[in-house]
Structure 1
């Protein structure tokens, strides 16, 4: 059974991370506790992700008791196509399942483009087949550097890799305190585009 962290669940379902954590805290969706040494982490199954996707689609407007009943039904009958909550509300599960599959496909593709190997950059996540840290590229994008400028400086990358780099970093955020980079807020007085071999 595939298990997902809350950040992976947020990316796959389109829910904000805070909404995912709130659903977990309210026990609206089932979680699994995994122990690694003294650390206990909460993970979600694909069925729980389907429940979260329904939350993102508007089910969060219903009372918590009804949502829990819907999610319990999905857990018992994961292949159900729809659930009739009452005479007015019918939950379409089949379409939600298709949309979730697209979100999971996007997450999987982003994770396949990245590798973390202790022998390469000390285990820092890099684009597969390169020594380019993923976080370096996403920080450049967030600082306002255009995709064209990044691709000029890193010819081994592609527009697709830049797109999925953001997905990967959202699903696998850096642990610990964020790095302080005060220069990110300073606009350069002059920007020159130049390839490295032009300098040599």
Structure 2
């Protein structure tokens, strides 16, 4: 993404990018339930986009910037800030602080707030860019691009307790960025149906956890035997 005026973020830069709710939660380091609650409370307004045949809710970068800023603001300031950000012209740069006149909150008014947006806007855009780059490492079939390894399979291993180093030992054709991308993809696109095992056959044998019987049971539970590293 290229920004005008010495790298300053424009409102249009944020408005053009879209992320899913799980992606938004990952970028903001919060639980996705908090994002959904903000929508249900009409604190932010989601739009809809089609991913394949599914219609899903998405947020733009302005929504994420508001959620990032709103954590430290009083309730009476948040709504006017959101309105200010949503109504700003596309070409407006976010390098200057906003003076926000509060709305009525509870029994009275809170003071005007000066909200610094420049650093948070740049950080929001960087987070979105990182999430989009990670998404590009996964193909349309849900496999790690350039391999036949399913993203959900790798993510299940990480959530099952295997370290990235252990996964790389069993899948030497992968890299750390691909593992991170798989975990992010799985979080944004929950797997339907039976989950993948949380360990590989090789890791069970290495750890001595139940020996061949456990490894055989694991292989029948969805692993492809001793060729997990094949791409």
TM-score band by shorter chain is 0.7 to 0.9
Asked whether the 8 Å contact 2:138–2:181 carries over to 1, the reply is no
Deviation at 1:33, TM superposition (A): 4.0
CA RMSD of superposed structures (Å): 3.2
Match of 1:160 in 2: 177
Aligned to 1:58: 72
Three-state SS of the structure 1 residue aligned to 2:57 is strand
Q: CA deviation at 1:147?
A: 2.2
Q: Label 1:35 to 1:163 Cα distance change in 2 as closer, same or farther (>3 A).
A: closer
| Contact map agreement 1:15 1:53 (CA 8 A) in 2 | no
Contact 1:15 1:52 in 2 (8 A): no
Q: Distance in 2 between matches of 1:113 and 1:39?
A: 21
What is the distance in 2 between the residues matched to 1:41 and 1:137?
A: 24
Scaled by the length of structure 2, what TM-score is found?
A: 0.65
Matches within 5 A, 1:1-200: 1-34=16-49, 41-55=56-70, 57-59=71-73, 62-63=74-75, 65-77=76-88, 79-80=93-94, 81-85=96-100, 89-116=113-140, 123=141, 125-174=142-191, 176=192, 179=195, 188-190=209-211, 196=227
Structure number with larger C-alpha Rg: 2
TM-score scaled to structure 1, two decimals? Answer: 0.74
* Aligned-partner Cα distance in 1 for 2:57–2:133: 23
CA contact (8 A) 1:2 1:45 kept: yes
Aligned to 2:108: none
Equivalents in 1 of 2:43, 2:68: separation in Å?
A: 12
